[in-house]
Structure 1
Amino acid sequence: MKKNNLFIVVVAVFSMMSCGKKTEKEDFGTSATVVLVSAELGKTLFEGKGTCVACHNPDTKIIGPSIIEIASIYKEKKGDLVAFLKGKGEPIVDASQYEIMKANFTITKNMTDEELESIKLYINSFN
């Protein structure tokens, strides 16, 4: 009788351990995390974590240039917006506002490449 109880306990424990919602995927030798880069994520970051919206509106200059102006100038001059947001590029839109923008580099320098690419996609969606 004790063997039957032990068997039931073992089966129950084994069943509980295998009931999770884990799914295994074939790896093919890589262990990369997939992060989606999108204009929607860029908008969320622009309006939230990046606090960009405090100085930039889509079509009106507030403190900084409008998003439309930024997108247009970066496209025209083939500028690297991501490098600029990392603090590694020269200002090409409004150099007179550069000192104010440099304060925001503390935020953007800590963003991932995917987050910065998403912000770039969002800005470019206005062009």
Structure 2
Amino acid sequence: MYKKLLSLAVGVSLIVSCQQGEEHKTKHVETEKETKEGLVQKETVKVATEEKKTVIQTNGGAIFKAKGCGSCHQPNVDTVGPSLKTIAQKYKGEKDSLLKFLKGEGEAIVWPEKFGIMKPQLNATKSMSDEELSMLADFILKH
């Protein structure tokens, strides 16, 4: 009987000791988890920022398409409006001037005689953010 009680006491002691160790370990793991989550959150912000930069660098074509610019402006052929190639040649090195035009603040330097056709379309570009306009201008100037 004495052996059973001693075994039981040792067993309980081990269980209590293990539980205390587990509590300590759990707290340590939670602390690590919080630290890891903090790092993961920072990393996620960093990745999101990098992804945003990628979108900014490559999304001008999507804006061009979504706004319907392609119905008048083709990549290499002048149609209703000047081609992207023609626009890019005229505004080469003058992104700020192109941005002013798209904001409705600058003069038309490409086919000014047909500005009346483009004028209603400027409402769409005037409502765009500076970031979107910059993407669009970069897309146009690549041609």
How far apart, CA to CA, are the structure 2 residues paired with 1:42 and 1:96? 26
Higher relative contact order (CA 8 A, sep 6+): 1
Which ranges in structure 2 are unaligned for 5 or more consecutive residues? Answer: 1-36
TM-superposed deviation, 1:92: 0.4
1:113 to 105, 127, 130: 130
How far apart, CA to CA, are the structure 2 residues paired with 1:82 and 1:122? 12
Aligned pairs, number: 98
TM-superposed deviation, 1:88: 0.3
- TM-score (norm. length: structure 2): 0.61
Which ranges in structure 1 are unaligned for 5 or more consecutive residues? Answer: 1-20, 27-32
Quick check: which has more Rg, 1 or 2?
Answer: 2
Task: Work out whether 1:57 is the aligned partner of 2:68.
Answer: no
Whichever residue aligns with residue 81 of structure 2, its letter is G
| Matched-pair identity in % | 36
1:86 to 92, 103, 111: 103
TM-superposed deviation, 1:24: 3.9
Give the structure with the larger helix fraction. Answer: 2
Aligned to 2:60: 42
How far apart, CA to CA, are the structure 1 residues paired with 2:92 and 2:116? 23
